[in-house]
Amino acid sequence: MQRPKNWLPGLLMVLPSIILVGIFVYYLIAQNIWTSLNVATRRVVVGGKFEERSIHEGGYRNYTELLGSADYQHALWNLLVLTVVFVVGTMIMGLLWSILLEKGVRGEGVFRSIYLFPMAVSFIAAGVVWRWLLSPAKGEGAAIGLNQLFVKLGLDGLQSSWWSADSRWNMAAMALPAIWQLSGYIMALFLAGFRGIGEDQREAARIDGASEWQVYRHVLFPQLSPIALSALIIVGHMSMKMFDLIYAIAGPNSYTASVPATLMWTQLFAQRDPVAAAVNATIILVIVAVVVVPYLWYTNRTERERG
């Protein structure tokens, strides 16, 4: 670039943020990684006497130990189920709503606000209601929440024990409130995308004899794919760090609904094991980075190509 005199003020203007982000993101991440590699011992009381015990050998073994434990694998599996259902569900609902709204309907503003409003509610607040809606008891008299509604509507077959169910796929139910909260946001993104495409392009396709479906398939959807990718990344990374919602619905130390983010809380405070918690936190970071870094690299590159 040109002479420092020209660019220096720019650097100075960003410098406060560089320092803050440098410390609070990168330095703290490094410190967390450092903690995760520590050797740790713990003093315990056995039979009325103190005894020193080794609880972590240090180095990479801290990682193999946690990754090998059944509880952590259970949490990772839960996370996978939650993320897949959450991402797919949110994308489908968001796209569907935006398609329903994009041509303009009377009362569009009302529908848009209704669909968007759950996003304004915190996970912790929404969790209070959903905890009750997803109550596991079934059958006349016992059922409350959604199950009770199903019984009242004569749809007994739809009852489920939701996230408390005895199933490998139980965390799919935990995705329901998350889909409820974020579909509206994805709708807003797609809606903004649809509105950004000029009417002339659709007209041109229609004149060429394209059916309404073909207009979507060949003209509109391709132009939405960058938005779809952003939406996918946003929802996906939210799912991987989701804590509040599970904390509010299943309680702070639930085993059934545990994911790495909630397990970290248990490790840190119930098990008093900051090293294991740091290992876990680093693994969450790596999982997110595996998804996000290629995306950032890709956007960076396409932007450069565009100039």
Q: Closest distance between other proteins and the C-beta of residue 284, in Å?
A: 5
Q: CA separation (Å) from 193 to 129, 189, 236?
A: 32, 6, 20
Min dist. Cβ of residue 31 to other proteins (A): 4
Distance in Å, CB of 88 to other proteins, minimum: 17
Per the rule left: phi > 0, alpha: psi between -120 and 50, beta: everything else, 165 is beta
Q: How far is CA 226 from CA 18, 139, 175, 179, 212, in A?
A: 28, 46, 24, 21, 22
Q: Which is closer to other proteins, CB of 62 or CB of 135?
A: 135
Q: Which is nearer to other proteins, 204 or 296 (CB)?
A: 296
| Residue number, 42 or 204, with CB nearest to other proteins | 42
CB of 184 to other proteins, least distance (A): 8
Mapping DSSP to helix (H, G, I), strand (E, B) and coil, where does residue 41 land? strand
Q: How many helices (H) and strands (E) does the chain have?
A: 14, 2
Is 291 exposed, middle or buried (CB count within 10 Å of its CB: 0-12, 13-18, 19+)? middle
* Residue 168 or 204 with smaller CB distance to other proteins: 168
Shortest Å, Cβ 200 to other proteins:
18
Least distance to other proteins from the beta carbon of 183, Å? Answer: 8
Structural contact between residues 178 and 83, judged by C-beta atoms closer than 8 angstroms? no
Structure tokens at 231: 């939406």
In this structure, are residues 174 and 247 in contact, taking their beta carbons and an 8 Å threshold?
A: no
